[in-house]
């Protein structure tokens, strides 16, 4: 081994000790500030996603600053950082799509258009949000499929969040036969609708006859529900059952499509 190494060793031992102290101190400080920030954000009721994002940013910023400061004791870090910047630019250009999804993930965590557990519709997919990662967002559809959507695609498309709406309107199309007393059918349905869980009297429900079908006079039933008590899908299911039962009790027919076929001899 080169004897010059041992000759210079006593001179760099203080620098090594100082660098270790700087690194350990920055690690302890980063961890302390991350935990302190997490407690402060929880006390203010900030969502966990934001707490995780800000905590990680604080942690890694302080840790990277400590590492650079420690390395500065041994050589000029500026030239190294310049080369690292060029390398980072090259890699970033090659991984442009990944970086785009990463940045979009940070924006989603900060803006929070939805939370984990919300039912949303994004890019023609609908489901409950199961995870918001830095690169992708995961949805679980009602039929159990797991949909993984790149964050850039989520951010660049309209997001429909059903869980954030306090009130939702249920639209239910129904047809009754041509010999039906239309006023009776309307009154019967109006009387039955309050049986739907979460039904709201205000805004007022409405039943509108809008067209003459092939075998029925068609109407749209519209009413509002409180999402804290029921969801859109269950409310529509209940409304179909309740409407059918009420019309049957009054003898109002919901006809099948009828076709008349003339056979030429």
Q: Is 261 domain-assigned?
A: no
Rounded distance, CA 154 to CA 255, Å? 43
Say which CATH number the domain at 38 has.
1.10.287.1260
Say which CATH number the domain at 156 has.
2.30.30.60
Contact 223, 196 (CB under 8 A): yes
Say if residue 185 is in the same domain as residue 136.
Answer: no
Q: Is 259 domain-assigned?
A: no
Closest CA to 165 of 236, 229, 104: 229
Say if residue 55 is in the same domain as residue 130.
Answer: no
Question: Checking DSSP bridges between strand 199-200 and strand 159-161, what pairing results, if any?
Answer: unpaired
Say which CATH number the domain at 203 has.
3.30.70.100
Say if residue 7 is in the same domain as residue 89.
Answer: yes
Greatest CA separation found in the chain? 118
Q: Is 257 domain-assigned?
A: no
Q: Is 107 domain-assigned?
A: no
| Residue 75 pLDDT | 60
| Residue 117 pLDDT | 84
Distance of CA 166 to the CA centre of its chain: 17
| Residue 5 pLDDT | 45
Say if residue 130 is in the same domain as residue 194.
Answer: no
Global confidence as pTM: 0.56
Domain count, the chain: 3
* Tokens of residue 34, six digits: 């991350």
Rounded distance, CA 8 to CA 5, Å? 5
Q: Is 60 domain-assigned?
A: yes
Q: Is 124 domain-assigned?
A: yes
| Residue 161 pLDDT | 86
Contact 156, 123 (CB under 8 A): no
Q: Give the sign of the dihedral formed by CA 67, CA 72, CA 75, CA 76.
A: positive
For each of the chain's 265 residues, which pLDDT tens digit applies? 445 544 554 556 676 777 788 778 888 888 888 888 778 767 766 666 667 767 777 887 888 877 777 777 666 666 655 655 554 555 555 456 777 877 787 778 777 888 888 888 888 888 888 887 778 888 998 888 898 988 888 888 888 888 888 888 999 999 999 888 999 999 999 999 999 999 998 989 999 999 998 888 999 999 999 988 888 889 999 999 999 999 999 888 888 776 667 777 7
Say if residue 126 is in the same domain as residue 90.
Answer: no
Say if residue 191 is in the same domain as residue 228.
Answer: yes
Contact 182, 169 (CB under 8 A): no
Range of the domain at 121: 113-161
């Amino acid at each position: 081994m080169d004897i010059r190494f041992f000759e210079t060793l006593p001179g760099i031992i203080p620098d090594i000790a100082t660098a270790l102290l700087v690194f350990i101190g920055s690690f302890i400080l980063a961890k302390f500030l991350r935990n302190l920030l997490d407690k402060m954000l929880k006390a203010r009721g900030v969502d966990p996603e934001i707490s995780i994002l800000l905590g990680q940013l604080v942690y890694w910023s302080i840790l990277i600053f400590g590492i650079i400061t420690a390395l500065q004791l041994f050589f000029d870090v500026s030239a190294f950082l310049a080369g690292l910047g060029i390398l980072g630019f090259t890699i970033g250009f090659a991984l442009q799509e990944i970086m785009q999804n990463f940045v979009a993930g940070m924006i989603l965590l900060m803006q929070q258009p939805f939370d984990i557990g919300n039912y949303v519709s994004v890019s023609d997919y609908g489901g409950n949000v199961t995870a918001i990662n830095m690169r992708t967002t995961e949805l679980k559809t009602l039929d159990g499929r797991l949909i993984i959507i790149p964050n850039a695609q989520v951010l660049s498309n309209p997001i429909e969040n059903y869980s954030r709406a306090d009130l939702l309107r249920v639209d239910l199309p129904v047809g009754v036969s041509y010999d039906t007393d239309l006023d009776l059918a309307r009154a019967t349905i109006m009387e039955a609708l309050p049986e739907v869980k979460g039904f709201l009297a205000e805004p007022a429900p409405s039943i509108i006859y809008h067209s003459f079908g092939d075998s029925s006079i068609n109407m749209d039933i519209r009413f509002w529900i409180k999402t804290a008590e029921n969801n859109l899908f269950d409310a529509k299911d209940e409304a179909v059952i309740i409407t059918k039962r009420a019309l049957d009790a009054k003898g109002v027919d919901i006809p099948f499509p009828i076709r008349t076929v003339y056979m030429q001899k």
